[in-house]
Amino acid sequence: MWFLFALLTTLSWGVADLFYKKGADSKDKYSTVKIGIMVGLVMGIHGFLYMLIKGITFNPLDLIKYLPVSFFYILSMLIGYLGLRYIELSISSPVQNSSGALTAIALIIMFPQELVAFEIFGIVIITGGVIGLAVLEKKLQNAALKADNAKINPKYQIGILAITFPILYAVLDAIGTIADGIYLDELSLISEEAALLAYEFTWLLYSVIALIYLNVIKKQKFNIFKEPVRTSAALFETAGQFFYVFAMSSNAVVTAPLIASYSIVSVILSRIFLKEKLSKLHYTFILLVMLGIAILGFSGE
């Protein structure tokens, strides 16, 4: 089942990225905070509903126990939201999701284990495809910026600061995922359900604090009931998180790079809905990643 959960996570987060991009308004300096608020509210609601439906009692100490993981995940996501104000989704997402390769390598070093040839091959193909997409997108964007007649939206122009956001995301997300692999798979320090609730309630805590900050301190009117785009992003993010926890608890080393391929979904959707074009090389890298996913699924099942 881990492969199905990982695949559902990949699809959910790929769709969420598209809505994140739409919700990242370069003219609104509080857009990052607003996206975070909606994510926290939706996750909190899901957490309470999950408790009621499953009849689970949540131990507040689990929130503290799981806080190191939650902290790096949430921080990386907020940095990712901020970066989307200045850089294309089709560039940001592949760069961010190179964290899957970092995670897999780190977990293998920390917790040596045997991988079959298919699994190694699948990890290498997925990682190569994601990195290839990132390099290709950067070259294409740099070429466009150098063109005399290029007319590019300033929010997409790449500078040192802009490309730093997805790189920071990759590093922080890798740290969080490594910790998650240790917590859920290698040492089993916390159950999947407890980890899911702890993460969602930590997000809810951030949301409440951010909402007070925005409305009371900064005097910014923010109606949570009039945020269809950011709410959609939060819904798909939460759905992906639900499946992710159960995927990571079963096979963290292989799951991490597989889920990192959700950037492929992001790239495809950004081309369709943001009216961008894919080159032959784009399709080549996408097919490579899809092949890697198929290999991991065949090997795991």
Helices 262-273 and 89-96 cross at an angle (nearest 10°) of 180
Least Cα distance to 169 among 73, 264, 88 occurs for 73
* 132, amino acid identity: G
Q: Rounded CA gap, 277 and 247, in Å? A: 33
* Whole-structure pTM value: 0.81
Q: What is the pLDDT of residue 246?
A: 83
Q: Tell me: the pLDDT tens digits for 32-77?
A: 999 999 999 999 999 999 999 999 999 999 999 999 999 999 999 9
134-171 burial, b at 16+ Cβ within 10 Å, e below that, comes to bebbeebbeeeeeeeeeeeeeebebeeebbebbbbbbb
Q: What is the pLDDT of residue 159?
A: 53
Least Cα distance to 244 among 77, 6, 1 occurs for 6
Q: In sequence order, which residues have a C-beta less than 8 Å from that of residue 238 and are 6 or more positions away?
A: 39, 42, 43, 46, 200
Structure tokens at 251: 């096979």
Q: Rounded CA gap, 149 and 128, in Å? A: 33
Q: What is the pLDDT of residue 195?
A: 94
Q: What is the pLDDT of residue 155?
A: 47
Structure tokens at 38: 């909606």
Q: What is the pLDDT of residue 80?
A: 92
Q: What is the pLDDT of residue 156?
A: 47
Q: Rounded CA gap, 117 and 123, in Å? A: 10
Q: What is the DSSP letter of 23?
A: H
Q: Rounded CA gap, 67 and 90, in Å? A: 31
Helices 252-260 and 262-273 cross at an angle (nearest 10°) of 10
Q: Tell me: the pLDDT tens digits for 172-205?
A: 988 998 898 889 877 889 999 999 999 999 999 9
pLDDT digits (tens), the chain, 301 positions? 778 898 899 999 999 999 999 998 878 989 999 999 999 999 999 999 999 999 999 999 999 999 999 999 999 999 999 988 877 777 777 778 777 767 777 777 787 767 778 778 888 888 888 788 878 877 776 776 666 555 555 544 545 566 678 888 988 988 998 898 889 877 889 999 999 999 999 999 999 999 999 999 999 989 999 999 999 999 999 999 999 888 877 777 677 777 877 878 888 888 888 776 778 888 888 888 878 877 766 665 5
Provide Rg for the chain, Cα atoms. Answer: 19
Q: What is the pLDDT of residue 72?
A: 96
DSSP string, 274-299: TT----HHHHHHHHHHHHHHHHHHHH
Cβ burial of 21 (10 Å; 0-12, 13-18, 19+) is: buried
Least Cα distance to 24 among 218, 225, 295, 229 occurs for 229
